[in-house]
Amino acid sequence: MEINGRSLVTGVMGYPVSHSLSPVFQNAAFSHMGLNFVYVPFEVAPLDLGSALEAVRVLNIRGINLTIPHKIEASKYLDGVSEESGILGVVNTVINENGRLLGDITDGKGFIRSITEDGGFEPEGARVMLMGAGGSSYAISGALVNRGIRSLFICNRTENNSLRLKKHLSEKIGFNKVSIIPFRDRNRFDFKGEVDLLVNTTSIGMKPGDLPVIDEDKIPGLRFVYDIVYNRVTELIGASRKNRIPCLGGISMLVYQGAVSFELWTGKKAPVEVMKKSLPSVE
C-alpha cells in the first residue's frame, strides 16, 4: 500500500479497539482493488466521541466504523442517519459526504448478504428460531423480517429481553408472527417440522467447552444453521457439520457487514473472498 497526497482515510473508533479485525480485511480489500484508501484504528474514549467525530469532518476522513461503546451515542453528533439506523437506534458506519456525516448500520444487510451469497440460503418464507435477544439480535431479526420470513421464535435466557424484542418488531416494523420459547424449554421444544433456520446470537460458543446452544438431536431437520460467534468454530457449528446441515459461522457476517461499509465509502463492490482470506483462520 502506498500512501500519497490523495489517499483517503477510513477507520474504526472503539474503546478498546486493538482487538478489531476490521483494519486487516478492509486494508486487504483496498489493496486488492488498487484503491487509494487506508483503514486505521482510533482508540476513542467515550467522552471524546463528539470531538473525534468533529475531527472526521475537519480532517475529511471518508468513513468510520463505530464499535463498542460508541454505536448508540454516535447519532447525536451526526447530520442524519438511515431509516434502519433510526429504527434500531444504532450506528456502525459513518459516511462523510462533503462534510455531512451520515450514519448507517450494516449488520442486518451484512447478515442477509452473508446467508444468501455465502450460505446459499434464502430466508424468505422460512420459520426462524432466534437464540438470544441482545444487541445483535435486533438488526438480524429486523433484516430477516424485511426479507419476508414466515414466522419467528425467540428463545433467550432472560425472558424479559425476548418480550422487549417481540414488542420492538411489532411496534417498529409491524411484524407480529413472533412466539417466545422459554430458554429452559429449548431442548424440549419439537424443532422438527417447525423450524427451518436456527440463528445463534448469544455468546454461547465463544469459550472452548461451551455446550451447543441447543442439543445436537435438534439439528437434523433444520435447513440452515447460522452462528454469529466468530472467534472459533463453535460446538453448534461442529454439530451442524457433523449432521451435514448447511451452516455458517460469524466470520462471514463480520466480513459482509464490513463489505457493506466498504461499498458505502468507495462505491465499489467489495472483494469478500479476499477480505475473508486475509483473516486468521478459525477452521
Q: Which residues form the interface with ligand ATR (CB under 6 A)?
A: 132-137, 156-158, 161, 201-204
268 catalytic? Reply is: no
Q: Which is nearer to ligand ATR, 56 or 91 (CB)?
A: 91
Q: Is the dihedral of CA 84, 85, 86, 88 positive or negative?
A: positive
Q: Give residue number: closest CB to ligand ATR.
A: 134
Q: How far is CA 222 from CA 71, 140, 193, 239, 244, in A?
A: 33, 19, 8, 12, 10
232 within 8 A of 206, measured Cβ to Cβ:
yes
- Beta-strand ranges (E) seen in 133-208 are 151-156, 178-182, 197-200
Q: Which three cell numbers stand for residue 237?
A: 457449528
CB of 264 to ligand ATR, least distance (A): 21
Q: Which is nearer to ligand ATR, 27 or 200 (CB)?
A: 200
Q: Which is nearer to ligand ATR, 201 or 252 (CB)?
A: 201
Separation of alpha carbons 112 and 119, rounded Å: 10
CB of 84 to ligand ATR, least distance (A): 16
Q: Which amino acid is at 226?
A: Y
CB of 120 to ligand ATR, least distance (A): 25
CB of 132 to ligand ATR, least distance (A): 4
Active site residues: 71
